[in-house]
Amino acid sequence: MIISFSGLDGAGKTTQINHLLNFYQGTGLSTYSIYNILPEICYHKKFKL
9-46 pLDDT, tens digit per residue, is 889 888 998 899 889 989 988 887 776 666 565 555 55
Is there a contact between 48 and 27 (Cβ–Cβ < 8 Å)?
no
- pLDDT over threshold 50, residue 49: no
pTM over 0.85, yes/no = no
Amino acid residing at 48: K
Q: What is the CA 39 to chain-centroid distance, rounded?
A: 18
Distance CA 13, CA 48 (A): 22
Between residues 35 and 49, the one the model is more confident about: 35
The predicted pLDDT at position 27 comes to 92
The predicted pLDDT at position 13 comes to 86
Please provide residue 9's backbone torsions phi and psi, each rounded to the nearest 5 degrees.
-60, 135
The predicted pLDDT at position 45 comes to 57
